[in-house]
Amino acid sequence: MTKVEKVLESVLEGYASFLRERMLAPLRHQPYLVRWVQEFLLFAEQHRGYTFWYSGDSTPISRKG
């Protein structure tokens, strides 16, 4: 397991604990929320250096910067 994978696993475990301890989502939804956060973090890692925002018509725009 690489260092990045270990850090990601640690962050996701912390997020899962956060959801569980504070009862922020039903137990059956929590695995999906953790997976969505994982997908977002992996996406963000692949697109480092980009900023994302939405135009007035809700069309995503990205810009290297």
Give residue-wise pLDDT tens across range 5-31: 899 999 999 999 999 999 999 999 999
Alpha helices in 1-65 (DSSP H): 3-22, 30-46
The answer to whether the pTM exceeds 0.75 is no
pLDDT for residue 47: 81
Mean pLDDT value across the chain: 85
Domain coverage including residue 56: 3-64
For the segment 25-53, the average pLDDT, to the nearest whole number, is: 89
**What is the spatial distance between Cα 8 and Cα 41, in angstroms, rounded to a whole number?**
8
Quickly state the pLDDT bin for 44 (edges 50, 70, 90). Answer: confident
Structure token pair of residue 16: 């899962």
Kindly state the average pLDDT of the residues 53-57.
Answer: 61
CA 35 to centroid of chain Cα atoms: 8
State how many domains the chain has.
Answer: 1
Q: Give the residue from 49, 45, 50, 48 showing the smallest Cα distance to 62.
A: 50
